A and B are shown apart, each in its own frame.
Chain A
């Protein structure tokens, strides 16, 4: 087991956001966190890598408790791709990915860092745009650069907050395929927040459905994405289909509203 979260609580002031989250993640697994807006998905991700300080509960990566580590040590274990990606002042793709080497930086490693960054650039097909400015890239390219930057940290766990929501369908698939390949190549686990239930159903080894700060259900797509759970959690009547052996959700109406 790479990632273990137990009894995680978080609140903004007296307003509880997470109310006791437990989850485990193994190497080479992709877990998708789904749930309605405001259910605590982004907060969960930020509590895992200590961007937010949980009120209660523990997070372990490879058996090491995260709260006992420094910012630098956490960065060596957990990579993070934030929801909004714009850089105030842009850098080249090469330098942007190089920033991911920060937690490993020590004197005399520059040449090696360049080699590692180049490996990642070519692996993610960024070689040809390596000297372009980040802010001038398309959304799909930017998302690939940000994943590359997080991979340069050589993390055990990669956290992504809605990496696909601003992308077209081709680039959504591309991001998912990249992650699918990386979990094996990098011997890591991926925990990502997604809104698209069909994308989650297709690529996730595990789906964690949050509802109001608690895990409503977790497990395979068959176990979690059901008409009953979607009605309860999202308040939406759905029709669930089978497409190439994967669950496919078509939302119909909100509960209590007539179909248009």
Chain B
């Protein structure tokens, strides 16, 4: 024990009601531990927090490096240095940019796809971390609430029956987005009901998931085989549909969304103590939960509309981060986003290059890579995955 026997217990330093909230001027603790003990604890606390932040500091350059490598790899070989030079010139809008074939390959073909991988990875990873907290379920992921299956149903309607809310180019994407919004709206409507618990929300989400799956099956049952094939291909996650416009829309939702989730990180930490305890500490549990689910589902709805269902990223990324730095949401949310981006870009690079020129659907590759990784984590940690 650092301070030996508990002695005195006079809380002179603690603020009292009615009086102002000032500490004594002399700075000397009125009891127990010496100044050195206090300073040493304060220093170790700071070090402890810094150590966790280092993960973020390491992940950011790792993601940038991986983006470069991913852009460089492909049927046309490009040197890593050229990749960064072209990206830099493209961002700055340098004169004569876009003239060379390298510029075109990088800027028009590879970068939109990889940029979508970055954004989708961030959205899936960070919302996965948040879902696991608000649904109080270590197996939760962003698709658990039926959002992806709603999107797939919307897309099937458009592809197979040609039925859509928006016409033209936006027929499929618009349908997918609107149906996934419908699913998240239903979830939110349930979450604001009195007496809604994480358990009832998980069950509601699963019910929606099966409902939309059944609807998709019915639609496909009556479709012709080419259209069904196209609908199935749509549903399997793929970054190849990305262009800069889609990236722009996604970024507009994912970047502020992730920041908003990080803003609620401390309240989410407190909610780990249980609803009653969190409320007794001043957290408005119901509204934080609704807010977090609204933001997460909106981000996921956007991503899923543009990429289809990319599994395992949202489930695995938070668990990888938890194993390294624990469950502090202030670190967990951004780090899970970055790990999600790393995993997704990596999986997409494998999907593009492993049996080139055939490009595998990245949704299948993430599952192939994710399942063994996940099993390994479970074996290593046993039942203490939480």
CA distance A153 to B270 in the complex (A): 13
Question: Do residues A130 and B45 form an inter-chain contact, with CB atoms below 8 A?
Answer: yes
Q: Is A107 part of the binding interface, using a Cβ–Cβ cutoff of 8 Å?
A: no
Q: Is A102 part of the binding interface, using a Cβ–Cβ cutoff of 8 Å?
A: yes
* Residues 253-302 of B at the A interface (beta carbon under 8 Å): 266-267, 269-270, 272-274, 276-277, 279-284
Given A95-B269, A99-B273, A114-B42, do A187 and B282 touch, yes or no (CB 8 Å)? no
CA distance A82 to B45 in the complex (A): 27
Question: Do residues B281 and A99 form an inter-chain contact, with CB atoms below 8 A?
Answer: yes
* Residues 127-143 of A at the B interface (beta carbon under 8 Å): 127-128, 130-131, 133
Chain A residues lying within 8 Å of B37, measured Cβ to Cβ, are: 122, 127
CB distance from A186 to the nearest CB of B (A): 6
Surface stretch bound by B, among A73-81, A200-208, A230-238, A245-253: A73-81
Q: Is A121 part of the binding interface, using a Cβ–Cβ cutoff of 8 Å?
A: yes
Categorize the interface residue count of chain A: 35 or more
CB distance from B53 to the nearest CB of A (A): 14
CA distance A16 to B269 in the complex (A): 35
Q: Is A4 part of the binding interface, using a Cβ–Cβ cutoff of 8 Å?
A: no
Question: Do residues A87 and B272 form an inter-chain contact, with CB atoms below 8 A?
Answer: yes
Given A71-B282, A127-B37, do A120 and B48 touch, yes or no (CB 8 Å)? no
* Residues 110-134 of A at the B interface (beta carbon under 8 Å): 112, 114-116, 118-125, 127-128, 130-131, 133
Given A88-B272, A115-B23, A182-B9, do A51 and B279 touch, yes or no (CB 8 Å)? yes
Which 5 residue pairs of A and B lie closest in terms of their CB atoms, listed nearest first? A75-B282, A89-B327, A103-B282, A80-B280, A185-B11
Instruction: Sample 27 A-B pairs with CB under 8 A, ordered by A number.
Output: A71-B279, A71-B284, A82-B280, A84-B274, A88-B386, A90-B272, A90-B326, A90-B327, A92-B48, A99-B266, A99-B269, A102-B270, A103-B282, A112-B21, A112-B23, A120-B11, A122-B29, A127-B2, A127-B3, A127-B41, A128-B1, A130-B41, A131-B44, A149-B281, A154-B17, A182-B11, A185-B14
Chain B residues lying within 8 Å of A105, measured Cβ to Cβ, are: 266
Given A88-B136, A125-B6, A156-B17, do A131 and B48 touch, yes or no (CB 8 Å)? yes
Q: Is B248 part of the binding interface, using a Cβ–Cβ cutoff of 8 Å?
A: no
CB distance from A146 to the nearest CB of B (A): 8
Q: Is A100 part of the binding interface, using a Cβ–Cβ cutoff of 8 Å?
A: yes
Kindly name the residue among B9, B33, B136 whose own CB sees the greatest number of chain A CB atoms within 10 A. B9
Within 8 Å by CB of A102, from B10, B17, B282, B327, lies: B282
Within 8 Å by CB of A118, from B42, B281, B326, lies: B42
Q: Is B113 part of the binding interface, using a Cβ–Cβ cutoff of 8 Å?
A: no
Taken residue by residue from 28 to 39, chain B's Cβ proximity to chain A (1 for < 8 Å, 0 otherwise) reads as 010111000110
Chain B residues lying within 8 Å of A46, measured Cβ to Cβ, are: 276
Question: Do residues A75 and B15 form an inter-chain contact, with CB atoms below 8 A?
Answer: no
CA distance A188 to B264 in the complex (A): 31
Chain B residues lying within 8 Å of A79, measured Cβ to Cβ, are: 280
Question: Do residues B45 and A114 form an inter-chain contact, with CB atoms below 8 A?
Answer: yes
Chain A residues lying within 8 Å of B386, measured Cβ to Cβ, are: 88-89
